[in-house]
Structure 1
Amino acid sequence: MDFGELYNINDVLVSVDNNDDYEVTWSLDSVSWSNLFTINRSDGEITWGMDTFSTDTLHNEYIAAIDFSTVQARYLRIKVTGGDFGLSIGEFQAFGSKLTTSVPEPSSLAIFALGFIGLIIRSVKKRS
């Protein structure tokens, strides 16, 4: 998943086939990836079919084994790492907030301000 820009990711809800292992990773640039958490087929409570996992402590599907600290990421991905490979991903939701970045003052505005101040100083000197 490409969010288009950086987000603070603090929780995930995912529904996957219960007899496979999955790895969820994050990245800033889609080149270098870091592990966010791993779902092992033994983590869930469903014995057949799809199982839902949440990292939100208030959610009824919360699984402490996959909980993680907030990360700043632009990309998330999920991939199967083991099991019968008859995999299925039914749902994947990421929760967080968009990073706000301050917009730097353009250098042209600074140059304009210096020029304007110079004109004021010149005008004052002419009057004296």
Structure 2
Amino acid sequence: MKNKFLKGLVASFALAFVGIANAGLIIGAVDIDASSPEVSVDYSSLDAIIDQSGLSNSYISGVTDFSSFVGATTASYDFSDPEELGGVLGLGSIYFDLGDIFNVDSIAIWGQNGTATLTSYALYASDTFGSSGTRTLIGNFLASSGPNAVSHNFISVNTQYLEIDVLANQGYSSTRVNEIAFGGNHISVPEPSTLAIFALGLMGLASRKIKKQA
């Protein structure tokens, strides 16, 4: 009985030390770059791909549920507002910085509702923001035009940096995207002071429990 209690105590402390994982949350990139960004009168900066412009709903990164948001959110592109769309020249690459290391297991892409949209891509995890990093292929996926997001799940990876290589874009000289977001979780480790207080409380509880059993 005493051993079972102590094992449970150790397991509880281990879980507290690792932290609490918020599974299935939408994660927005904090920075974006591309191998050859397309910037023109109609198709604006890359920031439009990660700034939630043109979406019917808004999310809070690391808080909003990924599946619920993606399923309920559509995108539209207004040619009078070029800030809603971004892109890359040809079959280029787009780089994402999530701002911290996340356990990423899904992606959602709202494509341009028209021609020259992203239709096929390779997704990589990288150890660096930009083209100079060491990449690990996550998988090849299909996307499409239209107001609804196309989302994919994949084997989770721990990374801060992601890269999309465009494989097909309907044969145009540019690839245009309305919005891209990722899904997964962020494991937050408690502050050392919090861990110390928690450990002292557990030790006191264990001491009282053992005295009662003696």
| TM-score, length-scaled by structure 1 | 0.53
Shift of 1:37: 2.4
Structure 1 match to 2:138: 36
Give the Cα–Cα distance (whole angstroms) in 1 for the partners of residues 179 and 163 of structure 2.
Answer: 13
Aligned residues: 89
Give the Cα–Cα distance (whole angstroms) in 1 for the partners of residues 161 and 120 of structure 2.
Answer: 20
Per-residue deviation, residues 19-71 of structure 1 (Å, max 9, x unmatched): 7421221123341111222224xx75x6xx6763112xxxxxxxxxxx31111
User: Are residues 1:89 and 2:174 paired?
Assistant: no
Structure 1 match to 2:101: 6
Contact 2:100–2:160 (CA<8 Å) still a contact in 1? Answer: yes
What does residue range 106-121 of structure 1 map to in structure 2 within 5 Å?
A: none
What is the identity, as a one-letter code, of the residue corresponding to 2:176?
Answer: S
Give the Cα–Cα distance (whole angstroms) in 1 for the partners of residues 120 and 191 of structure 2.
Answer: 42
Match of 2:150 among 49, 53, 64: 53
Give the Cα–Cα distance (whole angstroms) in 1 for the partners of residues 100 and 118 of structure 2.
Answer: 34
Structure 2 match to 1:61: none
Q: Let me know the Cα RMSD of the aligned residues.
A: 3.0
Match of 1:71 among 130, 137, 157: 157
Shift of 1:102: 6.9
**Percent sequence identity over matched residues?**
18
Structure number with the bigger relative contact order (C-alpha 8 A, sep ≥ 6) is: 1
Contact 2:117–2:177 (CA<8 Å) still a contact in 1? Answer: no
What is the identity, as a one-letter code, of the residue corresponding to 1:87?
Answer: T
Match of 1:15 among 93, 110, 120: 110
Provide structure 2 residue ranges, at least 5 long, that are not aligned to the other structure. Answer: 1-95, 193-214
Secondary structure at the aligned position of 2:149 is classed as: strand
Give the Cα–Cα distance (whole angstroms) in 1 for the partners of residues 185 and 176 of structure 2.
Answer: 28
Contact 2:110–2:180 (CA<8 Å) still a contact in 1? Answer: yes
Shift of 1:94: 0.6
Contact 1:28–1:72 (CA<8 Å) still a contact in 2? Answer: no
Greater per-residue strand proportion: 1
Structure 1 match to 2:166: 80
What is the identity, as a one-letter code, of the residue corresponding to 1:13?
Answer: A
Q: Which of 1 and 2 has greater Rg?
A: 1
